[in-house]
Homo-oligomer: A and B are copies of this chain.
Amino acid sequence: MNISTKFPVAVHTLILLSVSEPGTATSEFIASSVNTNPVVIRRITGMLGRAGLVEARAGVAGSRLRRPLEDITLLDVYKAVNAVGEGELFAVHDSPNPNCEVGRNIQAAMNPIFIEAQRAMERVLENTTVAAVAGDVSQLEGLGGLEALAAICPPAPAGTSEAPGRE
């Protein structure tokens, strides 16, 4: 069991948007960095768009950030892509036996704890911005910061799988 990779892919996407020249971050380019299909990326940018984090228009190349990464928390992204539904991290078995004292009350007894546990997890995400993640990326790369990263990230890298190419 694990949470959908839509979440980290969305973060990856936002970081790429922040370091890309306008009009260059197409779904195909992003897909080549994530190493997936452009449609998968469009599905995600669609969700990010509906959440107001990103903007794109049919026919015009690239998505654009609508807020600086400093103003986007991981929780914003997590919710935008619906990584885990509200109060749905844990599931209690449904229809336990109502004729048994335990079966009758187990759901009500467990739910508050499950909610609290999920909240604790989400609070950690809330306390980290995408900018912080981007900072870690550039740190790992041994660079000074986002600006430096922007200068180096290749506009159309060769994919590990089938390279989309720009012929």
Binding site for B on A (CB under 8 A): 1-5, 7-9, 11-12, 15-16, 19, 32-36, 74, 83-85, 88-93, 95-110, 113, 116-118, 120-125, 128, 133-134, 136-138, 140-141, 143, 149, 152-154, 157-160
Distance from A143 Cβ to chain B, minimum over Cβ atoms (Å): 8
**How many identical chains are in the complex?**
2
Residues of B within 8 A of A137 (CB): 101-102, 105-106, 109
Given the known inter-chain contacts A95-B160, A101-B149, please indicate yes or no for A74 contacting B3, CB distance below 8 A: no
Q: Is the interface of A mostly helix, strand, loop or mixed?
A: helix
Residues B121 and A160 in contact, CB atoms below 8 Å apart:
no
Q: Which of B95, B113, B157 contacts A74 (CB 8 A)?
A: B113
